[in-house]
């Protein structure tokens, strides 16, 4: 049944299909209809960032931006679920159309622009969830917040989600919010991460709960930039790094009708680029903090190569859209 519905949705407008799917999962996750997508997987516990995950395959941020379907994704067998990106204030995102499928490449281009209902709504959904597994909450800044005030937005989100998150992801790598990727470099990166580390220390002291901080980076950084980022992550004592977000590179899909669309490209065409970033980061970090690998992980071989490159956990998104829950089972079993 899931396969038939999925094939039908892939024939419809991408964003309509996404909204329909989120609505269906939200309405069915606590009913018998969840059996249309639920599956039982053998637990394969793994330690990362001081946490124990049920298995190493997680859902990447971006699919469940408002944390409305946590229990549904848990039922599919994900070892952990990451929701968001959320921002301090609700925002509608970029004008439509802003989501494009490239099925020949099993890839997607999106320029959604952090469309979400705001951090207060997300926290309300998380509190209503029955999920007992590891939950990542991905935070960002509002589009209208000046770059120099970005830390304020991240702090607002961090303070509101802290007690509800297993770990918090700092998203500074989406290509769809103007100026966001500038936060990945030099003094801007050090200042942002230092401010967040200080807040983490205060919140840990106040709550007695230590919530790890992971930083999500772009795949479009060269080797020198990646080494500089790695140094900053170590210096500011971050707990993990997620590699990678979507790419602006269009060379792999140059002949496709959607190649000229602005936004981030994800999916199978990102496999090698994300793999190379993982290798470079692993060497630069020298085991001082773990890597969560994401980007173009579509099969057992992709997962194997990402582990060999230095990743501890993996996440999927675009490949999950094309393959469905069976991908989770295949990767976990492998």
Residue 176's pLDDT band (boundaries 50, 70, 90)? low
102 SS3 class:
strand
Which residues are known catalytic residues?
A: 174
Residue 26's pLDDT band (boundaries 50, 70, 90)? very high
**Predicted TM-score of the model (pTM):** 0.94
Query: What b-and-e string marks burial along 5-40, b requiring 16 or more CB atoms within 10 Å of the CB?
Result: bbeebeeeebbebbeebbebbbebbeeeebeebbee
Q: Write the pLDDT tens digit of every residue in 188-203.
A: 888 999 999 999 999 9
Q: Write the pLDDT tens digit of every residue in 268-278.
A: 999 999 999 99
What pLDDT sits at residue 184? Answer: 64
Residue 4's pLDDT band (boundaries 50, 70, 90)? confident
What pLDDT sits at residue 188? Answer: 83
Which residue in this structure is represented by tokens 């679920």? 81
Q: Is the peptide bond before 85 cis (omega within 30 degrees of 0)?
A: yes
Q: Write the pLDDT tens digit of every residue in 115-130.
A: 999 999 999 999 999 9
Asked if pLDDT for residue 2 goes beyond 80, the answer is no
> Distance between CA atoms of 244 and 292, rounded to whole angstroms?
8
What pLDDT sits at residue 287? Answer: 93
Asked if pLDDT for residue 329 goes beyond 80, the answer is yes
326 SS3 class:
helix
What pLDDT sits at residue 1? Answer: 64
What pLDDT sits at residue 116? Answer: 97
Residue ranges of domains in the chain, CATH in brackets: 2-333 (3.20.20.70)
Quote the mean pLDDT of the chain.
93
């Amino acid at each position: 049944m899931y396969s038939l519905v999925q094939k039908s949705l892939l024939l419809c407008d991408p964003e309509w299909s996404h909204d329909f799917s989120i609505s269906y999962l939200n309405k069915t996750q606590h009913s018998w209809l969840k059996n249309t997508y639920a599956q039982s997987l053998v637990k394969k516990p793994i330690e990362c960032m001081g946490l124990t995950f049920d298995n190493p395959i997680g859902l990447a941020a971006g699919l469940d931006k408002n944390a409305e379907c946590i229990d549904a994704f848990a039922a599919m067998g994900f070892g952990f679920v990451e929701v968001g990106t959320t921002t301090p204030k609700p925002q509608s995102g970029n004008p439509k159309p802003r989501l494009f499928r490239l099925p020949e490449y099993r890839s997607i281009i999106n320029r959604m622009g952090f469309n979400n209902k705001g951090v207060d709504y997300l926290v309300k959904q998380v509190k209503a969830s029955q999920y007992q597994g590891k939950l990542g909450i991905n935070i960002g800044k509002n589009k209208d917040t000046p770059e120099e005030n970005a830390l304020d937005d991240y702090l607002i989100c961090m303070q509101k989600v802290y007690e509800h998150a297993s770990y918090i992801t700092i998203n500074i790598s989406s290509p769809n919010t103007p100026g966001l990727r500038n936060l990945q470099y030099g003094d801007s990166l050090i200042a942002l991460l230092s401010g967040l580390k200080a807040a983490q220390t205060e919140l840990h002291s106040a709550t007695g709960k230590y919530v790890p901080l992971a930083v999500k980076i772009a795949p479009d950084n060269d080797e020198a930039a990646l080494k500089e980022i790695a140094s900053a992550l170590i210096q500011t004592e971050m707990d993990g790094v997620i590699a990678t977000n979507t790419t602006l590179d269009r060379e792999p899909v140059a002949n496709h009708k959607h190649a000229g669309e602005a936004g981030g490209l994800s999916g199978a065409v990102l496999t090698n680029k994300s793999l190379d970033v993982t290798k470079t980061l692993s060497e630069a970090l020298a085991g001082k903090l773990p890597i969560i690998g994401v980007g173009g992980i579509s099969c057992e071989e992709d997962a194997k190569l990402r582990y060999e490159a230095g990743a501890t956990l993996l996440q999927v998104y675009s490949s999950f859209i094309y393959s469905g829950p069976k991908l989770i089972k295949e990767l976990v079993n492998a």
